Structure 1
Amino acid sequence: MAVIITNRSLADGIYMMEVAWEGVVSPGQFFMVRAWETDPLLSRPISVHDYQDGVVTFLYQVVGKGTAILSGMEPKNTIQLEGPYGNGFPAVDTPLVAVGGGIGIAPLYYACRKFKEDNPKKKLRVYLGFSNEAYRVEAFDAIADEVVVDVGGIIVGQVDVKRGETFITCGPRVMMDALCQVVPEKNPVYVSLEARMACGMGACLGCSIKTAEGNKKVCKDGPVFPREVLEG
């Protein structure tokens, strides 16, 4: 069991939880999170928003019974964490561009912070799109060279593509598909996918998706994939 340090609302239906946990976490990985006995039946997969000094941070949206229970948890309460699971974002040494939509910004922050930590002289640009209300913008402002925010519009339409940059993205599938169309093939693009899952380890096949390379499990083969896997 892990002890909750903080759990607070950032925007309508958006919460950020800090939990004491010791281990190794790569940007883009996720945990199976549980704060109940039997109902709901399944744990909830939640991506790591940040990990530093023994504190793992989750940025999550209340969308059902499980996340509603999580939103009501208080400091010093305990939750169950299984993981971290999955393949995360690869380490890159080119300039980096992150494009996030809504709660899809969650796994991008840790990836961006680690990138800047490892490559302080390389440029980091961030594009954040929201439907109704922006959140966590100040956190990205603190680490990025440039942050573009759009509320109510189409963030991909504002993305400026430069030669030699690597892109990472998470958000609605339609947004990520549009980004892959905008970014030339010479620029690598890594997409983080979401899927319903029961185990997080690839055993239940509940998160299987069709790709250009056959069926893939989001939890084990992903959740981060190069865009080539999704094309074709």
Structure 2
Amino acid sequence: MICSVERVIENIEVSESIYKLSIEGEFEGKPGQFYMLKLLSGETLLPRPISIHDNDKEKITFLYHVAGKGTKEISKLKLGDEIQVMGPLGNGFNLKDIKGRVALIAGGIGIAPMQYLAKEIKDSQIDFYAGFRDVPYSLDEIEKHCNALYIATESGNVGYKGYVIDILEPEKYDVVVCCGPKIMMDKVVEMCREKNTKLYVSMENRMACGIGACLGCTCKTVDGNKTTCKTGPVFLGEELVL
């Protein structure tokens, strides 16, 4: 784990209130892990946890939703500005276990960790299911690594009109991976349990410290409460208590 000050090389709005931030350098981190990002100056004291969207030898990229004061401040960063980064944090996906016919399903900003995951899964047949309220975003790179892409929008503007879980058939897959709003993920957990399909879930609980110290991001599991930031954010579906 590192905690350092790094240089921003890109911070662009890719859809309404959705930004892509790239930071220069070679960083560690596997799909499903995250970094805590913090401005060097600003009104927000606590860093913000943001999933790794992509990672290579030249830069690390984050996709985030401007949902409050902290992410609003991050969205104002420009080329050449500096930001404090701490990570990688959390436990990511077990890549050796995600194989065969795989369904990746994301709701809204839950798409953030899926690009890096799709790129890193080897020798798998991947179908990607993406759900949005109205306008899809950040699909071009993911689509390169997938066998099929299924889109659903609540407005019906693109693809299936409704929720993306309406078109998911978990029994067709060896493994399902899900990230998105809790109400969506709870439903996917139920669907996969009913069809006896292995499921990995990337939780989106609010995190303050990122290292399991504050206990503010606990979730219920069959083995008791566990911190999302340290034990997760990735859990097996069978571990979770809804």
2:46 maps to 42
Q: Does 1:72 align with 2:76?
A: yes
TM-score by length of 2: 0.89
Percent identity (aligned): 36
1:155 maps to 164
1:93 maps to 99
Give distance in 1, aligned partners of 2:216 and 2:171.
38
Deviation string, structure 1 residues 140-190 (Cα, Å, up to 9, x no partner): 222111000111121001113345521111001111111122224532101
Give distance in 2, aligned partners of 1:102 and 1:45.
17
1:213 to 206, 211, 223: 223
Give distance in 2, aligned partners of 1:110 and 1:39.
31
- The Cα of 1:3 is off from its aligned counterpart by 0.9
Give distance in 2, aligned partners of 1:93 and 1:128.
20
Q: Is the 8 A contact 2:114 2:142 kept in 1?
A: no
Q: Is the 8 A contact 1:47 1:107 kept in 2?
A: yes
Cα RMSD for the two superposed structures: 1.5
Q: Matches of residues 1-232 of structure 1 in structure 2 within 5 Å?
A: 1-37=5-41, 39-91=43-95, 92-115=98-121, 118-119=122-123, 122-152=124-154, 153-183=162-192, 184-231=194-241
Change (3 A) 1:224 1:12: same
Give distance in 1, aligned partners of 2:151 and 2:61.
22
Aligned residues: 228
Partner AA of 2:77 in structure 1 = M
- The Cα of 1:38 is off from its aligned counterpart by 5.8
2:157 maps to none
Say which SS state the counterpart of residue 36 (structure 2) adopts. strand
Q: Is the 8 A contact 1:140 1:147 kept in 2?
A: no
Deviating beyond 6 angstroms after TM superposition, the runs of 4 or more aligned structure 1 residues are: none
Give distance in 1, aligned partners of 2:6 and 2:163.
38
Q: Is the 8 A contact 1:3 1:77 kept in 2?
A: yes
Say which SS state the counterpart of residue 49 (structure 1) adopts. strand
Give distance in 1, aligned partners of 2:54 and 2:216.
26
Partner AA of 2:51 in structure 1 = S
Runs (5+) with no aligned partner, structure 2: 155-161
Give distance in 2, aligned partners of 1:44 and 1:125.
30
